[in-house]
Chain A
Amino acid sequence: MKKVYCIGCGVVTPVGDTPKGVFQAVREGRSALCLHPGFPEPFFASLMPRDCTAPGTLFDHMVKEAAAAAVKEAGIDASSPRTGLILSSIKGNVEMLGHGSADVSLAVQARRLAQALGVTTAPVVVSNACISGLAALVQGMRMIQGGQFDQVIVAGCEVQSRFIVTGFQSLKALSLQACRPFDEARDGLNLGEAAAAMVLSSQPMTPMTLGEIGFSSSRTKNNFPQPWELVSGCIRNDANHISGPSRTGEGSYNALQYVLEDARPEALAFVNVHGTATRYNDEMEAIALGRAGLEKLPVNALKGIFGHTMGAAGILESIVSMQALEAGVVLPTKGYENLGVSVPVNVSAQERPAQGSQFIKLLSGFGGVNGALLFQKGGAL
């Protein structure tokens, strides 16, 4: 099987618009989560400033910025017939609904992103609830391993709107304070806005960076001094309930089991979990981690910084986790204080040293869907 590498990253978030800047914000516990006037019920969320004057929608702008940064770092030819594009989002520009605008279509968003980046192949949208970003990365791996493309731009984005906020409020899923993943006092999630992108490639470097610029000089300027490999990914359904997680963590457990077959236990540094801070999600993940024998492995959740960025979460949280392992740390779980799940998973509010070269990204979503993705530092070079 061909190997798949991440050779470029880009992010747009309320706490920074470079992977390094965002990583630093997480390390320092800086978050944009705050109370916003609602529709009319107030809500606690991490939102982008609304002063963007770029043409198109905020969604267009954010996802293009993130994807363009990833393409630039990767140094790939976006217009090559060997370059694919995947957009990950749950609701795109849903606030345009009823305005008679084509912008409400995710497929139209994807076409516009392709045009903005100069991509000439037909884009694909992955819209698989809250695991969309992770599912899009798995899809990108498959496109490369199946030989369809040599490199794939995977870009995820979510913009919050009355539609999404009132929907989560109607489900009584939102907390009115900063969310508290895995804490005994957790009472719901916070929504968040972000865009994040990776360029995946069958080559650990592009020919240009290897040949023309030279390995050491180009990589030191980049986000990662060495290539990262996406080793194994899996998507599994709980087959239980469309809006409630499985009591046995079935889908998450099965997805973890799948990627653990490709992991080296001694190399695993941490699991970056979904950790939405709803009562049911965090309990379900703790059960799944326990069943998979990962109770002692450090875990962390980043929703206390970014909120739940939905279609961007899988990509954004993976990029931050790669940065963390590069720096040799397990990032703190902001908002966590006292263990509030039935399985004593290894979560901490403090930054800890990381040991190993691999981590797993874990996500779950409505529709009973769960995903796990194994990353490895170093690759083949």
Chain B
Amino acid sequence: MKQVNIPSGANLAQLYRDLQPDYPKFFKMDVVSKLGFLLTEMLVAGEAGRFQPRQDRAVLVFSRQGCLANDTHYAATMADFPSPALFVYTLPNIVSGEIAIRNKYAGETSAYVLESYNKDTMWELVRQAFQDRITQSAIVAWIDCPTDTQWTAEAFLVNRNDL
């Protein structure tokens, strides 16, 4: 099972330039989606058949606080001109959608919030996701991001036969 992580506080713009995804929408994303996007690039860059639309790969994201950092940014705009660009990132599952759009993953996308980083709980939920009879592999990400500069961000590429 392939595993990657992005150290807390890393320079995400530099990481983007190093990975060269050529995907300018990246710069509109909140920090959670940026992390999910980059983690997935690290996992699947060079994979055969990449960008072929597929339903057999799920995207399962886990966090402790959803998208709290961006929630705070959106809330700061409410009094004057509420920002639609920030509001759309105030949902914990948007990162899974960004990964699906980038990679043409038309399979399941799900988002879970757990009170603590409990690997047993997370992997039980991942195993259960494979009850979907089409799902053969999954991007599994734990992204917890209380502020724009502090996070835990790691991801796994899991195949059905890894479980």
Contact = CB atoms under 8 A, between A and B. Distances in A.
A-B complex is real: yes
A236 B125 CA distance: 17
Interface string B4-32: 00000000000000000000000000000
A43 to B, nearest CB: 12
B110 A238 contact: no
A237 B78 contact: no
A163 B115 CA distance: 23
A367 B96 contact: yes
Interface in B35-78: 53, 55, 59, 64-66, 68, 71-72, 74-75, 78
A167 interface: yes
Nearest to A1: B131
Contacts of B65: 105, 107
> Most chain-A Cβ atoms within 10 A of its Cβ — which of B90, B107, B112, B124?
B112
A241 B125 contact: no
> Most chain-A Cβ atoms within 10 A of its Cβ — which of B90, B93, B101?
B93
Contacts of B78: 39, 162-163, 166
B105 A237 contact: yes
Interface of B: 53, 55, 59, 64-66, 68, 71-72, 74-75, 78, 81-84, 87-88, 90-94, 96-98, 100-101, 103-115, 118, 121, 124-125, 127-129, 131-132, 134
Contacts of A241: 101
A110 B115 contact: yes
15 contacts: A105-B115, A107-B113, A107-B115, A111-B115, A124-B125, A127-B91, A128-B111, A135-B110, A146-B131, A234-B132, A238-B106, A239-B101, A239-B104, A242-B97, A367-B97
A142 B129 contact: yes
Given A124-B125, A171-B84, A258 B134 contact: yes
Contacts, number: 165
Given A108-B115, A142-B129, A128 B93 contact: yes
A357 B122 CA distance: 36
A369 interface: yes
In the A-B complex, the 4 residue pairs with the closest CB atoms? A367-B97, A167-B87, A125-B113, A107-B115
Nearest to B121: A122
Contacts of B106: 236-239, 250-251, 254
Contacts of B84: 167, 170-171
A208 to B, nearest CB: 27
B112 A169 contact: no
A251 B53 CA distance: 12
Contact of B75 (A98, A142, A239, A365): A98
A127 B131 contact: no
A169 B82 contact: yes
A242 B94 contact: yes
Interface of A: 39, 90-91, 94, 97-98, 104-108, 110-111, 122-129, 135, 139, 142-143, 145-146, 148, 162-163, 166-171, 234-243, 250-251, 254, 258, 365-369
Contacts of B108: 234-237
Contact of A254 (B55, B75, B92, B121): B55
Nearest to B105: A239
Given A97-B71, A98-B75, A107-B115, A243 B88 contact: yes
A98 B72 contact: yes
B74 A366 contact: no
A236 B129 CA distance: 12
B98 A239 contact: no
A171 B88 contact: yes
A240 B101 contact: yes
A125 B114 contact: yes
B98 to A, nearest CB: 6
